[in-house]
Chain A
Amino acid sequence: MRRNLSGRKYIIIAIFIVVAVIFVARLLYLQVIDDSYLLSAENNVLRKNTIYPNRGLIYDKNGKLLVYDEAAYDLMVIPRKVKTIDTVEFCSLLGITDSVFISKMTKAKKYSRYKSSLFLAQISKEDFGFLAEKLYKYPGFFVRSRSLRKYPKPIAAHILGYIAEVNNNEINTNPYYSSGDYIGKSGIEKFYEKELRGKKGVQVVMVDVHNRQQGSYKNGKYDSIAEAGKNLYLTIDADLQEYAEKLMVNKIGSIVVIDPKTGGILTFVTSPTYDPNLLVGRVRSKNFQMLMKDSLKPLLNRAIMGTYPPGSTFKVVNALVGLQEGVLHEGTSYSCNGPQTTPIRCTHHHITPLQLKMGIEQSCNPYFWNVFRSIINNPKYNSVEKAFGSWRKDVTSMGFGKKFNTDIPFEKPGSIPTLDLYNKIYGKGHWNALTIRSLAIGQGEILVTPLQMANFSAVIANKGFYYPPHLVTAIGSKENKIPRFHEKQMTEIEEKYFDVVQEAMLNVFEGEHGTARWSKLEGVKIGGKTGTVQNPHGKDHSMFIAFAPVGDPKIAMSVIIENSGYGSTWAAPIASLLIEKYLNDTIVRKHIEKRMLDGNLISRE
């Protein structure tokens, strides 16, 4: 009656074995053949924490600290851990409104409930003090330390520049940066970004499913240490810079002071300026908007971006070219009929005829028209074009019409007109010295920057050469100089031609009729040249170039004060005060100083 069913045990055992074999095959595939799961597991647990290095410090030429890093704190939040809190107190603690709190929380929740997001960036050390005491009351919030730039003295904003969070474009073009990183946006911070930023470190940690840190991964085998940024040593003299900025308060313009022996920029003022501390931390964007909207354009770096016709100061350039080209000698004399002179009239009263030194000292327009005409009509070249080409070559050799390309971002080249330009305007062969006569007195198509004028001043002081003006002498340590800034640039003008020019410029201070005789400094031989730049939009700009002491120059500069009238009224006294400050360290001529400090040339409507 009963079938023999014991054979079925083999079927049952077979079912067991088939299932086991399927499992083993699947496990063989998962565990041995497909290795993508190892990666997935690591992605699950490994987090890379960035360690931010300290940004390099910036010192002036005497070792005074100009910029340093101060600890700041980013408030982070993990939304899941946030409990019911007293938002009113919390908001007042942070100085934010209710709606800001809600929108920041919403944003954080949207990103992730488990991972931390930035809640409030860059809380200063002072504000953090209050917050730290109470932070325990707000579970889910914690701080991540970052650093903020700090400026012990509110000076040299434009030189130093500022840093800000990287934008998307910068992230996309440079793989070093990730969201939230800082990058130099202008000035030295921009130019020396690579040196200053150092190198970010990475700490690989393991996290659990709730993103809580569980410890380092493989004992830190894949960690890298953050490398601090390199310190920079500037050519700037902080004391002189501060003094110059004081003198420029309530004036628009710029001052560039160069050490002619090195090309190092001692002082670099553009006015109006701003306190660099304004562009740091959370207040940055608000202040930046405010500065952007200011009608006086405090963010504009006039010393390199402001281009001006050089005016009478350019007469010195033409004198040097004339001497070099052999069409002008110390004794060359021309007559001046004062206001009646053609084609350019003279605005000064002086003896006539007059020689070169007097021409410079008195800034005689007709004299330099004659000089310029003789340069352009130089029989040596047989053609106006060739002579003009030679003039242009001489002029540009002194640093005009081009960028120095050292370490000052956003520098403008200015403009020295080219042959092509005139051929285009007037037609080839249809122009001559008379057509372009404005060049004789530094007007017309010439545009120069204050930096170029200061460099020209250094060229005269050095009698024919210059070092490219720059801001940083050394990186990392004081001894580690930047070689390319110390390459001597020779001009086309031979040394011997500078003596007469220097003497004439000395007479600008020392001479009986010198235009800057009121700004004379006892005991220091200063060479200078005033210039008044015609301004179609208002009162003329006053310009002044100066160097001292004549013979052993230690300082050369250009001063431009916009809308201030004659160069002798404002620019010359300020230049002489700076020379006094730099060479003597103490100001004796208090009355001049007071007049300059009190002077208010800005009329705000």
Chain B
Amino acid sequence: MRNRGNIFQNIDRVTILLYFLLVFVGWINIYAAVYNDEHQSILDMSQNYGKQLIWISTSIILILVIFLIEAKFFSTFSYVIYFLMVLVLIAVLLVGKEIAGSKSWFQIGSFSIQPAEFAKFATALALAKYLSQIDVDITRLKTKLFAGFIIFAPAALILLQHDTGSAMVFVAFALVLFREGLSGSLLVLGFVLAVLFILALLINKFILIGILAVFTVLVYVLNKRLRKKYMIITGLFLMAAVYILSVDFAFENILEPHQKNRINVLLGKKKDPHGVGYNVHQSVIAIGSGGFSGKGFLKGTQTKYDFVPEQSTDFIFCTIGEEWGFVGTFVLILLFVALLIRLVILAERQRSRFSRIYGYGVASVIFFHFAVNIGMTIGLFPVIGIPLPFISYGGSSLWAFTVLLFIFVKLDSVRMDLL
């Protein structure tokens, strides 16, 4: 079985197939989204679809390079890569170029590159490296804090670049920590806090606290077993009440106006289809008007005539929804879920903890992008400008996801060689 001479031995064909399917779907939909009569050729290099082909070709080169590199390199140099990346993130704050309000780009010639995209795989590597050490125990506070530091250091730097979306992606690593033993109740707590956050914005905070109080009393009355833990329950109730009050405060005083607006539009508290809500409104119209089987390739009117903003990047899902209909969106979601599940399966079959943890990191990051991006275009999440992996136009994004994924494919291909 082992053939160390052939670098393509043992690579996972399912993942490769899914990768190329997604990249292809992305490319033709970028073509459809940006298509105009003057530039009909999909190979026209002056257009986004032509450029995307360059990104795809160079991605393939990146894949080959990754396959050529000794797998051990990634675990050995993971901290180095991580630290270099942190330095780059600091550098971009100092000498970076500002595009659309975010100072997160390096301009090299006519190309711009966004380091934040690459920080994800670096963080995934460092986290995998740290958690895979024999003496590390996630249940210990020290470990939690250090892992947290690895995750949030780059996130904080990205936040300083005013790229909130990319910074939020690092929350995805919570799934990795969960898999490695972080208490599930922390995930549940996070979920409950999120729900309470939304409810606090939707419902009058005092009514909400009242409802919680009634709920707490009901728990006492109906459940004898829990009655003994009244201290904890009362404490939880009081914490929830304080949280609800502080959410209101935080929302009004900490969030930036455009972020507040986006959340208000999403929650239906603010109707403004021509202003703040315009993007989402047009995006939902585009997808909704696709119907069951779509309007047909290159026949989307919403995307073709620029009603949907950022159609080749963050809102690429609209083009798919409009032109390919429910059939298209369903198939795309199926492809993503297949890839995610495949990644979990691959991660679980790793002998090395490093590879497994890294694999979960890859799955978590891709999942977060997938959930937030599509959720945003169909009006289930506030507008957070992060790309749809492998599909959205953009060199940094495609390269970064390619590197992220194929390091894992490489690690997986040599899983038998390692201990």
> Is B158 close to A, CB under 8 A?
no
Judge whether A12 and B288 touch: CB under 8 Å: no
> Is B145 close to A, CB under 8 A?
no
Judge whether A22 and B178 touch: CB under 8 Å: no
Interface residue total, chain A, C-beta cutoff 8 A: 40
**Residues in A190-236 with C-beta less than 8 Å from chain B:** 206-210, 214
Residues of B within 8 A of A214 (CB): 304-305
> Is B199 close to A, CB under 8 A?
no
The residue that B289 contacts in the complex, of A3, A23, A40, with Cβ under 8 A, is A40
> Is A482 close to B, CB under 8 A?
no
Residues of B within 8 A of A40 (CB): 285, 288-289
> Is B96 close to A, CB under 8 A?
no
Residues of B within 8 A of A44 (CB): 282, 285, 301-302, 305, 307
> Is B326 close to A, CB under 8 A?
yes
Bound CA–CA A88/B310 (angstroms): 41
Residues of B within 8 A of A3 (CB): 181
Residues of A within 8 A of B277 (CB): none
User: Quick one: given A24-B333, A207-B305, are A12 and B289 in contact (CB under 8 Å)?
Assistant: no
The chain B residue sitting closest to A46, CB to CB, is B301
Judge whether B340 and A16 touch: CB under 8 Å: yes
User: Quick one: given A27-B330, A31-B321, are A8 and B380 in contact (CB under 8 Å)?
Assistant: no
> Is A26 close to B, CB under 8 A?
yes
Bound CA–CA A36/B289 (angstroms): 8
* Complex interface bits, A9-22 against B, C-beta within 8 A gives 1, otherwise 0: 10111011101101
Bound CA–CA A41/B283 (angstroms): 10
* Complex interface bits, B266-304 against A, C-beta within 8 A gives 1, otherwise 0: 000000000000000010111111111000000001101
> Is B210 close to A, CB under 8 A?
no
Judge whether B301 and A45 touch: CB under 8 Å: yes
User: Quick one: given A41-B285, A41-B286, A210-B306, are A5 and B180 in contact (CB under 8 Å)?
Assistant: yes
Judge whether A35 and B291 touch: CB under 8 Å: yes
The residue that B326 contacts in the complex, of A27, A41, A208, A209, with Cβ under 8 A, is A27
**Residues in B327-360 with C-beta less than 8 Å from chain A:** 329-330, 333-334, 336-337, 340-341, 344, 347-348, 360
The chain A residue sitting closest to B325, CB to CB, is A31
Bound CA–CA A28/B179 (angstroms): 32
Bound CA–CA A208/B321 (angstroms): 19
Residues of B within 8 A of A16 (CB): 337, 340-341, 344, 367
Residues of B within 8 A of A210 (CB): 306
Judge whether A31 and B292 touch: CB under 8 Å: yes
Judge whether B380 and A26 touch: CB under 8 Å: yes
> Is B371 close to A, CB under 8 A?
yes
The residue that B378 contacts in the complex, of A15, A17, A27, A35, with Cβ under 8 A, is A27
Bound CA–CA A16/B302 (angstroms): 30
> Is B23 close to A, CB under 8 A?
no
The residue that B307 contacts in the complex, of A5, A15, A31, A209, with Cβ under 8 A, is A209
B313 to chain A, nearest CB (A): 17
> Is B257 close to A, CB under 8 A?
no
> Is B375 close to A, CB under 8 A?
yes
Judge whether A8 and B179 touch: CB under 8 Å: yes
User: Quick one: given A38-B291, A40-B285, are A20 and B305 in contact (CB under 8 Å)?
Assistant: no
Bound CA–CA A210/B340 (angstroms): 40
Interface residue total, chain B, C-beta cutoff 8 A: 48
Bound CA–CA A365/B367 (angstroms): 112
> Is A6 close to B, CB under 8 A?
yes
Bound CA–CA A13/B178 (angstroms): 13
> Is B235 close to A, CB under 8 A?
no
Bound CA–CA A17/B344 (angstroms): 13
The chain B residue sitting closest to A30, CB to CB, is B288
Residues of A within 8 A of B334 (CB): 20
Judge whether B321 and A27 touch: CB under 8 Å: yes
> Is A176 close to B, CB under 8 A?
no
Bound CA–CA A2/B378 (angstroms): 42
> Is A512 close to B, CB under 8 A?
no
The residue that A31 contacts in the complex, of B290, B360, B363, B379, with Cβ under 8 A, is B290
User: Quick one: given A5-B180, A23-B378, A40-B285, are A31 and B306 in contact (CB under 8 Å)?
Assistant: no
B318 to chain A, nearest CB (A): 11
The residue that B344 contacts in the complex, of A12, A27, A41, A206, with Cβ under 8 A, is A12
The residue that B341 contacts in the complex, of A1, A8, A13, with Cβ under 8 A, is A13
The chain B residue sitting closest to A17, CB to CB, is B337
Judge whether A37 and B288 touch: CB under 8 Å: yes
B344 to chain A, nearest CB (A): 5
Bound CA–CA A27/B370 (angstroms): 15
> Is B374 close to A, CB under 8 A?
yes
Bound CA–CA A558/B348 (angstroms): 111
A406 to chain B, nearest CB (A): 53
Indicate the member of B184, B292, B302 with the most A CB atoms within 10 Å.
Answer: B302
> Is A32 close to B, CB under 8 A?
yes
Bound CA–CA A41/B179 (angstroms): 44
Judge whether A45 and B307 touch: CB under 8 Å: yes
Residues of B within 8 A of A26 (CB): 378-380
Judge whether A5 and B181 touch: CB under 8 Å: yes
Residues of B within 8 A of A24 (CB): 329-330, 333
Residues of A within 8 A of B325 (CB): 31
> Is B175 close to A, CB under 8 A?
yes
Judge whether B291 and A5 touch: CB under 8 Å: no
The residue that B305 contacts in the complex, of A32, A36, A45, with Cβ under 8 A, is A45
> Is A294 close to B, CB under 8 A?
no
Additional pairs, 16, CB under 8 Å, beyond known A9-B347, A19-B367, A23-B329: A12-B178, A12-B344, A15-B367, A20-B337, A26-B378, A27-B321, A27-B326, A27-B330, A31-B326, A36-B288, A38-B291, A44-B285, A44-B305, A45-B307, A208-B304, A208-B307
Interface, chain A (partner B; CB < 8 A): 1-3, 5-6, 8-9, 11-13, 15-17, 19-20, 22-24, 26-28, 30-32, 34-38, 40-42, 44-45, 206-210, 214
Query: Can you identify 30 A-B contacts, CB atoms within 8 angstroms?
Result: A8-B179, A8-B184, A9-B344, A12-B175, A15-B175, A16-B367, A20-B333, A23-B329, A24-B333, A26-B378, A27-B287, A27-B378, A30-B284, A31-B291, A36-B288, A37-B284, A37-B285, A37-B289, A38-B288, A38-B289, A40-B285, A40-B288, A41-B285, A41-B302, A44-B285, A44-B305, A45-B307, A208-B305, A209-B307, A214-B304
10 nearest A-B pairs in the assembled complex, by CB-CB distance = A37-B288, A208-B305, A41-B289, A31-B326, A30-B288, A209-B306, A45-B301, A38-B289, A40-B285, A37-B289
